[in-house]
A and B are shown apart, each in its own frame.
Chain A
Amino acid sequence: MKAWYIAVKDLVVHTRDRTAFVTLLLVPMVMIIVLGSVFNWNATSFQAHAVVVDLDGSNLSRQLTQQVLASPRVRDVLALTTTTSEAEARTLVEQGKTAAAIIIPKGFGGGAASGAPARIEVLENPESLIQAGVVASIVQAYTTDLQAQRVAISVATSVLEESGAVPPARMGEAVRGVREQADAGQPQDLIAVKTTALEGRKVVPALDYYAVGMSLMYLIFTANTGAWNMLEEKRQRTLARIMTTPTARLTVMAGKSLGTLALTALQFAIIILLTRLLYHVQWSSSLPALLLMAGASVLAAAGLSTMVAALVQSREQEGALGPAVALIYSLLGGSMWPVYVMPAWLDAASRLTFTRWAIDGFSALMLGGGVSSVLRPAGVCLGMAVLFLGVSAVALNRNY
């Protein structure tokens, strides 16, 4: 019961420091939205913008604009607008209002039919080279296919003439038939846009990922605050005063750890709730699984910070070491960048941190997993928490 009183007292003391409490909530929320927006790796969100000018108006040019560029598959990656003025299209590119302009010159269709070179001009905005490159590639794919068709028709006509299989009187009709068959092909099949998962894995959206990453990072920072408070109590002699009462050392330490745990759990719960409401982060569809993973993470963070506080001798040492440990765990564990872009050695090293296991666990939940999907990561986090608290108990008994 005394441990509970100590924990409640610590929680009250912390929550009355309104500036610190708001900072502990506000800063992670801002970090989540900033990092989630800046490092948005969601592939389906890529879309190039282009304007098309059809000065030809032939069947072939309409085939390009209506069947190729406006096909459903291309529409996902290319937002197309049309204009009738080449000058206007150039101006839009020059003003940076579009990534590229596709100009189909007059006579394009006729030239292509007669076997003349089929040329389409693509104006690229140098500030949007990737988007412009996508537009140019689509157009080039079409023109290349078109030229291949013309070569095929030419070869087929020559073969028919030389073989004598078609009487000369019916030769014109045969050539038209070949062209009609070629034109009846599926030009939209030229472009196949397909979003694939990275290395065959599903990926958590950036905002959701950073909601986890930043929450874990600030979980350690908050736990550090609790640990710092323990050293502050040692300095201010309130800890010694408690020790002069009939209260066992172990009870005092349990109370202090429980207070840190309660503070970090409160912060984590509020961040989960706020990110769900404000950023629509899908933490989990399974409440028991979410509670298991969150509980294991909170225990590990509180254990880590308690261990740091137990091992150092002064508030100043903790002030230097605590944030350093928090940053190392966050960098190594994947709070700052996605774990799947890490090189192999870093990926292996990251598994020494509870943050990595927690990120794996929460990612599994965000991709639809349930309790069974987090048993391993939660188990590792709990194991680490036990290790940290064990070391803390030994060190606290020695240093306090």
Chain B
Amino acid sequence: MVLLEIRNLSKRFGTLVAVQNVNLAIPAGEIFGLLGPNGAGKTTTVSIVCGLLSPTEGDVIVDGHSVLRESMAVRRQVGVVPQELALYGALSGRENLVFFGRMQEIPARLLPGRVDAVLNIVQLTDRQNDRVDTYSGGMKRRLNVAIGLLNQPKLLILDEPTVGVDPQSRNSILETLRELNRQGMTMLYTSHYMEEVEFLCSHIAILDHGRVIADGSQEELQRRAGGRDIVSVQLADEADEALRTRLTALPGVESVELRDHAVRIATASGHALLAPLVAALADDGRGVTSLEVKEPNLEDLFLSLTGTSLRD
């Protein structure tokens, strides 16, 4: 069952085309990643899904409701975690949750329990009565996520929810989201952090200049990236042509590059090559200081599709 469907979506600001003919379908229960560099159109797309912006063309359907015609019905189905820390610093964490819970029309008899539950999920129960402006950056990020969870949404929209947080808080947020997904929550997750999208998302769409340039499952996209693993070896001594000849003869090796003490081998399967490679180096009496297998990733795909890095 498709929970979120984006149909022929375009958004123009004057002459600037922010989103151009985007089509996506997100099944219920998935974490769908929108990956792209800053300015690719991710935030504009999710702003239209949230009802904050009106599309120039196209429509968004959430659980059967059109964002154009049934905006309020759509808003009742979604929870939003914005990129910005949209919190009231002068209020406590609990007061923030109660306020936004009221805005989300959570019945008064249910609200205290919901607040307790999300505080527990983001591990802020012990600081719930402190003013938010006394929170650390990571705690604020967690509270930002908690507000999005209050109405137990069918679809949780997260727009770069980990920007500027420390690794520990980032891991905590990502693990929380994964657990919520395991419990059945569908998520639309935008980020320009490739690692986060790879960690969380089963399906991914890559946006660039407002257009979807690739989409599919993570495996499909990785295959499109070229399908070659790179094995990098750092030797104790300088590499020579005799070594190149020996390594090129190993099964599955497509190419070997040498530079000083470094050897870079392209192969269909890096892990399959490891055993014969180590044996060959030992047999040849070569000392090894490091060895690394790098699988193709979304960064490589983005690079191959656009010629630029995701972080550019």
Listed in ascending order, the chain A residues whose CB lies under 8 Å from chain B are 2, 5, 9, 12-13, 16-17, 236-238, 240-248
Is A246 a contact partner of B72 (Cβ separation < 8 A)?
Answer: yes
Per the 8 Å Cβ criterion, residues 71-94 of B in contact with A are 72, 75-76, 78, 80, 82, 84-88, 90-91
Set of chain B residues within 8 Å of A248, measured between Cβ atoms: 72
Per the 8 Å Cβ criterion, residues 94-109 of B in contact with A are 95, 99-100, 102-105
Residue from A16, A17, A241 in contact with B86 in the complex, judged by beta carbons closer than 8 Å:
A241
Is B99 a contact partner of A5 (Cβ separation < 8 A)?
Answer: yes
Tell me the complex Cα distance, A157–B78, Å.
Answer: 115
Residue from A13, A236, A243, A244 in contact with B78 in the complex, judged by beta carbons closer than 8 Å:
A244
Tell me the complex Cα distance, A12–B147, Å.
Answer: 19
Per the 8 Å Cβ criterion, residues 37-63 of B in contact with A are 50-52
Is B147 a contact partner of A5 (Cβ separation < 8 A)?
Answer: no
Closest-by-CB residue of B relative to A242 is: B103
Is B50 a contact partner of A244 (Cβ separation < 8 A)?
Answer: yes
Is A244 a contact partner of B90 (Cβ separation < 8 A)?
Answer: no
- Count contacts between A and B, CB distance < 8 Å: 58
Shortest CB-to-CB span from B60 to chain A, Å, is 13
Is A246 a contact partner of B91 (Cβ separation < 8 A)?
Answer: no
Tell me the complex Cα distance, A238–B87, Å.
Answer: 6
Residue from A13, A17, A240 in contact with B82 in the complex, judged by beta carbons closer than 8 Å:
A240
Shortest CB-to-CB span from B36 to chain A, Å, is 20
Q: List 30 A-B contacts (CB under 8 A).
A: A2-B103, A5-B99, A5-B102, A5-B103, A9-B99, A12-B90, A12-B95, A13-B90, A16-B91, A236-B85, A237-B82, A237-B86, A238-B88, A240-B52, A241-B80, A241-B82, A241-B86, A241-B100, A241-B147, A242-B103, A243-B52, A244-B50, A244-B52, A244-B78, A244-B80, A245-B75, A245-B103, A245-B104, A246-B72, A246-B75
Is A17 a contact partner of B52 (Cβ separation < 8 A)?
Answer: no
Closest-by-CB residue of A relative to B78 is: A244
Set of chain B residues within 8 Å of A237, measured between Cβ atoms: 82, 84, 86
Write the B98-127 contact mask toward A (1 if CB under 8 angstroms, else 0).
Answer: 011011110000000000000000000000
Set of chain B residues within 8 Å of A241, measured between Cβ atoms: 80, 82, 86, 100, 147
Residue from B51, B85, B102, B105 in contact with A244 in the complex, judged by beta carbons closer than 8 Å:
B51
Listed in ascending order, the chain B residues whose CB lies under 8 Å from chain A are 50-52, 72, 75-76, 78, 80, 82, 84-88, 90-91, 95, 99-100, 102-105, 131, 147
Among A5, A238, A240, A244, residue most surrounded by chain B Cβ atoms (within 10 Å): A244
Closest-by-CB residue of A relative to B133 is: A16
Closest-by-CB residue of A relative to B71 is: A246
Is B84 a contact partner of A236 (Cβ separation < 8 A)?
Answer: yes
Set of chain A residues within 8 Å of B90, measured between Cβ atoms: 12-13, 16-17
Shortest CB-to-CB span from A22 to chain B, Å, is 15
Tell me the complex Cα distance, A337–B160, Å.
Answer: 55
Tell me the complex Cα distance, A247–B75, Å.
Answer: 9
Set of chain B residues within 8 Å of A242, measured between Cβ atoms: 100, 103
Shortest CB-to-CB span from A20 to chain B, Å, is 11
Shortest CB-to-CB span from B159 to chain A, Å, is 10
Tell me the complex Cα distance, A244–B100, Å.
Answer: 10
Tell me the complex Cα distance, A242–B51, Å.
Answer: 11
Shortest CB-to-CB span from A250 to chain B, Å, is 13
Set of chain B residues within 8 Å of A2, measured between Cβ atoms: 102-103
Set of chain A residues within 8 Å of B51, measured between Cβ atoms: 243-244
Tell me the complex Cα distance, A349–B105, Å.
Answer: 48
Set of chain B residues within 8 Å of A9, measured between Cβ atoms: 88, 91, 99
Set of chain B residues within 8 Å of A247, measured between Cβ atoms: 103
Tell me the complex Cα distance, A2–B101, Å.
Answer: 11
Set of chain B residues within 8 Å of A236, measured between Cβ atoms: 84-86
Shortest CB-to-CB span from A2 to chain B, Å, is 6
Is A246 a contact partner of B102 (Cβ separation < 8 A)?
Answer: no
Given contacts A12-B90, A244-B52, 15 further A-B pairs with CB under 8 A are: A2-B102, A5-B99, A9-B99, A16-B91, A17-B90, A236-B84, A238-B88, A241-B80, A241-B100, A242-B100, A245-B100, A245-B105, A246-B72, A246-B105, A248-B72
Set of chain B residues within 8 Å of A17, measured between Cβ atoms: 90
Tell me the complex Cα distance, A246–B82, Å.
Answer: 16
Is A244 a contact partner of B75 (Cβ separation < 8 A)?
Answer: yes
Closest-by-CB residue of A relative to B87 is: A238
Set of chain A residues within 8 Å of B131, measured between Cβ atoms: 16
Closest-by-CB residue of A relative to B105 is: A246
Set of chain A residues within 8 Å of B75, measured between Cβ atoms: 244-246
Tell me the complex Cα distance, A13–B95, Å.
Answer: 11
The 4 closest A-B pairs by CB, nearest first: A241-B86, A245-B103, A237-B84, A244-B80
Tell me the complex Cα distance, A244–B49, Å.
Answer: 10
Closest-by-CB residue of A relative to B47 is: A240
Tell me the complex Cα distance, A237–B84, Å.
Answer: 7
Shortest CB-to-CB span from A192 to chain B, Å, is 64
